Amino acid sequence: MNIALWIVQGLAGIGFVYSGWLKAFQYEQARASWGWVKDVSKTLVVFIGLAELLGALGIILPLALNTTPILTPIAAVGLAVTVLFGALFHITRKEYREIGVNIVFFALVVFVAIGRF
């Protein structure tokens, strides 16, 4: 089970680093890639990106470094909340294609949260 959790943590971490990096540091590329970025403030997009980057670090580093392993499932819960709000946002905008990605990442981080608590 520990190996499966590490694999899922790695996949989720990679996904959130990619997404967060685009939102936080490659705003114009994010704007070109995702239609919703044009309709919200740049500050909000950058904030979401930074939250995703911190969450990605949080689901890997505390447990990997064995400093404060309880932060790993807490970070996973935080990412789950972020993804859930993202899915609700896409539902209100009728962007149903985008929700599939949210569902996948929600399942990954919930699996991590449950497995690591």
3-state helix, strand and coil shares in percent for the chain, rounded to the nearest 5:
85, 0, 15
Query: CA 29, 35, 38, 42 torsion: positive or negative?
Result: negative
* Distance of alpha carbon 98 from alpha carbon 21, whole angstroms: 18
Joined tokens for residue 106? 């929600």
pLDDT the model gives residue 11: 97
Q: What is the pLDDT of residues 75-87, one digit of tens each?
A: 999 999 999 999 9
Residue 19: partners with Cβ closer than 8 Å, 6 or more residues away: 49, 52
Nearest to 40 by CA among 55, 27, 58, 50: 27
In the chain, how many domains are there? 1
| Under 8 Å between Cβ of 12 and 111 | no
Mean pLDDT of 56-67: 95
| Under 8 Å between Cβ of 49 and 21 | yes
Average pLDDT across the chain, whole number: 95
- State which residues form the domain around 101: 2-116
Mean pLDDT of 55-68: 95
Q: What is the pLDDT of residues 89-105, one digit of tens each?
A: 999 999 888 899 999 99
* Number of alpha carbons in the 13 Å side-chain half-sphere of residue 112: 32
